[in-house]
Amino acid sequence: MKKHQFVKGDCNCPRTATFFRCKFCQELEYKSAREIQRLNATQAECSSPDAPEVPAHEAFLGQIGATFDCLAPDFETYMQNKK
């Protein structure tokens, strides 16, 4: 299974929830950073071949109901660097 890596959209809004876009497949989610870190297996799965593979231990935990952290390590600065 490959998982999304969501980065924060450049919206300059003070709200907790904002737009997050996957670096690889460009899927858009309107959630808070905390919600992006707790996605179920269906929401976390990315269709892009370039997306990172889920580590074996994380995939196993996901099968028994654990959540996936799909927040990219550079989620706050990624879009700023793309300008």
Predicted pLDDT of residue 51: 95
Predicted pLDDT of residue 75: 85
Predicted pLDDT of residue 83: 59
Predicted pLDDT of residue 68: 95
Long-range own/partner contacts, residues 19-24 (CB < 8 A, 24 or more apart): 20/71, 20/75, 21/79, 22/46, 22/48, 22/51, 22/70, 23/72, 23/78, 24/48, 24/50, 24/51
pLDDT per residue over 7-66, tens digit each?
A: 988 766 666 678 899 999 999 999 988 999 999 999 999 999 999 999 999 889 988 989
For the entire predicted model, the pTM comes to 0.84
Predicted pLDDT of residue 14: 67
